[in-house]
Amino acid sequence: MYLERSGADTWNDIAVGGSQRWKVTDPSAHKVALSHMHRYFKNNEINSILCPLAGDDPMAHLLWQQGHSVTAIDLVPLALERMRQQFDGEWSKEEDGRDDGMVVWKHDSGRATQYQGDALKYLPELKESFDAIYDKDSFGALGVEMRQAYCKRISEYTKKNAFVYLECKLKENHNAVKDNGPPFSLKMEDLVEWFGGSFDHAESLGSVYPLSMPTAQQTAHILKRK
């Protein structure tokens, strides 16, 4: 319940013009991410992509514009509402109640779905459903005690040979400050520790675009499903 309250408070503050935290709104940054993902996509196919802890990230809409099928999960209704406003067309809310407490929204294109609820809750209909994961700063928000469950969900939802495009902060003096957050600092070794059971670390992309945070870099990695 604490995470739900704190998340709602954060998004209410963002919506009224408060601190934007570590949101990225520069379209050039999203194009950088897309260019890296394109190298791993199946050619000339619609890819099924999961955006966990998505907030209102414009990448979900950009991937949808590219013709892909996108599923976003977030706990905060306002964040997902702001995402829906980016899409042309209509969204409909599933009226049937679910035992897991999720609220599900479907876009009339048939290629965009939102789950409003706990991203760590297992959703059996998503098992082995996704060709790719777009993960921006989830580890920047998740404390250490949540990361094992989060990585388990990612592994359950991905197909064989799927990939994860993951962005994370890398702060100066990482070893001294990695437990200070959010946002938390993360290195490749940390990814191997949390994802190593199900994914191989395929590529470090280094710093992908500049940040307004003077003591941190926005780094990215590719992981491949074993």
Alpha-carbon span 115 to 98, nearest angstrom: 11
Burial letters for 41-78: b for 16+ Cβ neighbours within 10 Å, e otherwise? beeeeebbbbbbbbbbbbbbbbbbeeebbbbbbbbbeb
Does some domain include residue 68? yes
Alpha-carbon span 89 to 36, nearest angstrom: 28
Does some domain include residue 13? no
Q: What is residue 212's predicted lDDT score, i.e. its pLDDT?
A: 83
CATH number of the domain to which 136 belongs: 3.40.50.150
Does some domain include residue 120? yes
Does some domain include residue 133? yes
The count of structural domains within the chain is 1
pTM summary value:
0.89
User: What are the Cα distances from residue 150, in Å, to 87, 122, 138, 190?
Assistant: 28, 10, 9, 14
Contact 175, 185 (CB under 8 A): no
Q: What is residue 214's predicted lDDT score, i.e. its pLDDT?
A: 86
pLDDT tens string, the chain, 226 residues long: the values are: 334 444 555 544 444 444 445 556 788 999 999 999 999 998 778 999 999 999 999 999 999 999 999 999 999 999 999 999 999 999 999 987 788 889 999 999 999 999 999 999 999 999 999 999 999 999 988 989 999 999 999 999 999 999 999 999 999 999 999 888 888 999 999 888 888 789 999 999 999 999 888 899 999 999 999 9
What range does the domain containing 52 cover? 24-225
Contact 203, 223 (CB under 8 A): no
Alpha-carbon span 151 to 167, nearest angstrom: 15
Q: What is residue 3's predicted lDDT score, i.e. its pLDDT?
A: 43
Alpha-carbon span 89 to 17, nearest angstrom: 27
Contact 116, 74 (CB under 8 A): yes
Does some domain include residue 8? no
Does some domain include residue 11? no
Does some domain include residue 1? no
Contact 158, 204 (CB under 8 A): no
- Residue 205 sits at the vertex; the CA angle it makes with 203 and 206, to the nearest 5 degrees, is 130
Does some domain include residue 71? yes
Tell me which residue of 46, 41, 43, 91 sits closest to 65, measured CA to CA. 46
